[in-house]
Amino acid sequence: FRGIGAAVGGRDYNSVDMSLRQLNETYLPPFKAAAEAGVATFMNSFNDINGIPATANKYILRDLLKGKWNFQGFVVSDWGSIGEMANHGYVKDNKEAAEKAIIAGSDMDMESRAYMAELPKLVQEGKVDPKFIDDAARRILVKKFEMGLFDDPYRFSNEKRQKDQTNNSENRKFGREFGSKSIVLLKNEKNILPLSRSTKTIALIGPFGKETTANHGFWSVAFKDDNQRIVTQFDGIKNQLDKNSTLLYAKGANVDNQDRSMFAEAVETAKKADVVIMTLGEGHAMSGEAKSRSNIHFSGVQEDLLKEIAKTGKPIVLMINAGRPLVFDWAADHVSSIVYTWWLGTEAGNSIADVLFGTVNPGGKLPMSFPRTEGQIPVYYNHYNTGRPAKNNTDRNYVSAYIDLDNDPKFPFGYGLSYTKFVYSDMNLSSTNLKGNQTLNISVKVSNTGNYDGEEVVQLYIRDLVGKVVRPVKELKGFQKVFIKKGESKTVNFTLTPENLKFYDEELNFDWESGDFDIMIGTNSQDVQTKRINWSK
């Protein structure tokens, strides 16, 4: 808490420099929602915000979180972040760090040991008012009381519960379900997917085919029996193939070196198959905390392997395993079927097979925009228009555009395909002229015109065309997931009130203005239907 996602250069722990308006409008709302939902604790981020480390940032901790938001839980430092303020150059030593942090609103010191050693002296010297110590202690003790730790300090040290919950079959069943629902179908031009279980020969090629740990991703709990416990992609696919079908495997390449010695075996394996499933991406320790990358293309020789397999002419389904968006332009332009499988956990192999063979019709959507190259980053759907907006991808003269690249992301925010086809029609608004605290009712008809039952995430965006501060070209204001059987239609309804129109001005007033607004509904942030309204105070 807060701003860690806006680090300069995309480098973990790095500085954050932004206006307070941007901080309040874009970066604080998710935390405010969490506070309102009753979350128990907040953790400071490592970064400084506009020159003040988050750990000693009175504005976000004491004034906003505990003041304006009336948060009653407690704030814990991240690992060593109180002592690390000396590295920032904000304090000279642990004693001054403890003073700054407790006054700003950090209640618990994780690992710096500055509070334990320095707070008694700071109080005795009159540098820290005891009220700050009392407030921090009260907040921590209240949570311990709520958890029942005064009645039983070892309440959560329950060996039977641990045994019952570890590898629990119901948990695994749920893991398989949400794994399959997390997969995003990016391309399926030739309708290779879903695969038939009776496909005579399938080849699984790539460094993740028989991986176990990589399916967990970074910062996950490891068990001694993970090699037996975690369902590999190979096993998940093999278990769903008919008994007369064959699944071949070739690793083809390592994740992160230049070894091409396995290419020949992989090519020969592909030639024997009717369909090739390529599994490429990031290793489990390549994405996550302190895993910043300047190059987010496929590492090592993975893309070269893909190109060699493509030369065989065999149909390819590409699965991308990663903890972030990667850049894979060649694949996106040359491979007909692509699924983004992320890292899906213990049941990864089964979740993936459920989607590949059509037991689950994918309905996941991208929660971020995918760049064409690193030079576009940051790339996001809710950008400003600028005074010289790029009107298209061909006229790049004296407009806000790259001379060597399209402005649009490779895949936009909210994007995700299905094995079926959804058609949007009959977008209706209850009024195009509203006044005061009226409510705008919005509806759209969504029809499943394909051959499979499926889920669609219907997305609502708005644009405030003129504001006292410039407004984004789109803002997501609602979304609904609906299940629609093939051949059927559903009407999806949304409502907007003036509360949805509010924004922060340059003086941090949170309000809305009279004016024209575009109302947009669609399947992603780019593919939308639009109608205009006027809303006056």
Residue 162: burial class (beta carbons within 10 Å; 0-12, 13-18, 19+): exposed
- 473: Cβ contacts below 8 Å, ≥ 6 apart: 381, 382, 383, 384, 385, 463
Helix (H, G, I), strand (E, B) or coil at 411: strand
* Closest of 330, 307, 335 to residue 319, by C-alpha: 335
- Compute the C-alpha angle 524/528/532, nearest 5°: 140
For the chain, the C-alpha Rg in angstroms (whole number) is 26
Backbone angles phi, psi at 312, to 5 degrees: -70, -20
Distance between CA atoms of 411 and 329, rounded to whole angstroms?
Answer: 10
Active site residues per annotation: 78
Element (H, E) at 321: strand 316-321
- 410: Cβ contacts below 8 Å, ≥ 6 apart: 327, 329, 332, 370, 371, 372
Helix (H, G, I), strand (E, B) or coil at 15: coil
* Closest of 485, 488, 468, 482 to residue 521, by C-alpha: 482
Residue 11 CA: distances (Å) to CA of 213, 220, 462, 520: 25, 21, 32, 34
* Closest of 529, 371, 519, 364 to residue 446, by C-alpha: 529
Distance between CA atoms of 262 and 80, rounded to whole angstroms?
Answer: 44
Residues 263, 308 contacting (CB under 8 angstroms): yes
Distance between CA atoms of 468 and 63, rounded to whole angstroms?
Answer: 26
Distance between CA atoms of 6 and 27, rounded to whole angstroms?
Answer: 9
Residues 2, 47 contacting (CB under 8 angstroms): no
- 340: Cβ contacts below 8 Å, ≥ 6 apart: 183, 184, 186, 320, 322, 364, 366
Distance between CA atoms of 476 and 250, rounded to whole angstroms?
Answer: 43
> How is residue 465 written in tokens?
């065309």
